[in-house]
Structure 1
Amino acid sequence: MQRRTISRLPLIAALSGTALLAGCSGSATHLPDQPLVATALAQAESGGTGDAYTGTVHARTESTLAFRVPGKIVQRLVDAGAHVRAGQPLARLDAQDYGLAASAAAEKVRAAEADAARTAADEARLRPLVATGAISPSAYDGARALRDAAAANLSAARAAAAHAANERGYATLVADADGVVTEVLAEAGQVVAAGTPVLRLARSGAREALVAVPETALAALPKTAQATVYGRSAPVTATLREVAGAADPYTRTFAARYVLAGAPEDAPLGATVTVRLPAATGGATRVPLGALVDLGAGPGVWVIQPDRRVRFQRAQPLRLTEEEALLPAAALPPGTRIVALGGQLLHAGQTVRLAPGAGL
């Protein structure tokens, strides 16, 4: 991209001459009614290859797997890079204590079942005796209360037994989906708490390119681009899925994820990928960065009309570089003469004087 440099020497010389004339006349120094400005012509964007960002290939969904119960890891059954299936065991804890707890809970269930059966039989036996007056209603109410309490104890014992059985099952870490183990975070012999990361799993399915986009290019980030995975000559279509809502505090860039089409499974995880954005051709105009001003209602540039009066043209930048701003051609057609420097001091309808060599 060619860069246009605005020479400030004619403007400085003209301003110096104005100051000298004011000093010779003995009048007080004041701003002229027609301020002197440097101008430039808006240039059509010549196109090019567009921006390119390099990142890495990631899975659409990546999860960190952990045991749901604490314990000592006695087996790690997979290594990093292993392809696993849903339900496949990945690691095991020492489940001896959980087995004892499950056995004790099952024993309590059997005792509660026997007690519930006995109290239910007593209540059924005493129920007809109330009508004949063989027993008092209060005695029958006591038997019914014992039956209800035994039934509640049985429900609680069964729930405790189910919980103990689940904990014994949780001592085996299984894959929750098909995928690839990308990282091992704990080893056999290590004592871990519930929730301590053990393995990281990248699920099978779509692959994405994770790239860092500067904040200056965020507004014009296209929805589709071309991506090339390192070692592969054929590019694939990349579709923007999401952009991080906050910038990285150190690099001031935003993480953007592009879904790679056509190669969901065989794109290697962690491989280098380059996302090339389409170049803006025919629909953009280049102006010097100093021409862009913001008067409080949005950015734009001052356009110099044939009668040398200025009007403010709002235009949202598509991209910013160190010296130029890329604006939509619909807002500012190429060839438009604009104020290149000093736009912060102007107001709409004001007549300006052009620096030497900047005729309309």
Structure 2
Amino acid sequence: MNFLINYFKNKIFGFKSRFRAFILIGFFLSVIIIFVVVFWSKDYYLPGGVDYGVTFSKLYAEELNLDWQEAYLAILDDLKVDKIRIPIYWPDIEPRIDEFYFKDYDWMFEQAGQRGVGVIPVIGRRVPRWPECHTPPWADRLRSQDMVNRRLLKIIEQTAKHFSLYNNLIAWQVENEPFLSIFGECPKPDADLLSQEIHIVKSVDPTRPIIITDSGELSFWGKSSSYADILGITLYRFVWNPVIGYFGHIYPPAFYRYRASNVIQNNPALSNVIVMELQAEPWINGPSITEASLAEQYSSMDLNKLKSIVDYTESAGFNQAYFWGAEWWYWLKIKHGDEQFWQYAKTFWQ
């Protein structure tokens, strides 16, 4: 009899223990789920909002068969932007070895300066727009990558010395996404070379900050942020993939906010994380947007999508963002009579 009593007591006690354990596990899982839902769904709007600028690429404007100077002036005078990022293409400024030509970019700096517009030049070999790395034909013919690198360091020094004299230069961006190896026609990433480029720029101009950029979606930012005074990231919401075609990213604003806070916390020298490439044009399957029909372009980017991207950027708590696609807005306006993007863009500076 005692054996049976003890047996059932143990059974009951074991059941109660397991029940308590299930309750505790359920409670902790509920707390975790609530925390994750609240955290990931939280908005991080800043009281002062986002300070917007644009990127302007002479190369891209020419690809769109625009008068690049006319497009540039329209961005300054009609949109009235107050900050502009300008990729400086190595083939433009050293078309032949040791022959330096800065005239076109001097004109852009001067026009911006006359209007009180700040400029961020992007210098190096890997700068915005396809094929990402832009090397003069003469440099491509050099016998080794080491020889190309030495020439790259020389043009970095020449460029830094030349443009550091402009009062409206607000920061330097050295290379573009230098550690992103899966995109672009480029040599493999070289951290030592990047360090040398940054050292040269800081030696020439020790007062202005260095921006290093990284993919907002395809990187953790830790390595890039360790080289930067300011980290610039991309923010894309509607993209194309060869497997599933066009799609929209589903992660919430906290996906960016948490990582931005984390890299700042772990890198005392890092002063800010900003959106250096904010999607404001279609992501097209192909190297050139002009190869896609307008219908395909609008399926990837319409005005409602752009507005949703702006709201998302603000809810992620960024204080600066540079639109990517101002040349496309102007192209739609001039070549296709579609002014909706252009008129909407005016609201950010007027």
TM range (shorter): under 0.3
- Structure 1 length-normalised TM: 0.20
Higher-helix-fraction structure: 2
- Structure 2 length-normalised TM: 0.20
- Higher RCO (Cα < 8 Å, 6 or more apart): 1
Which structure has the larger Rg? 1
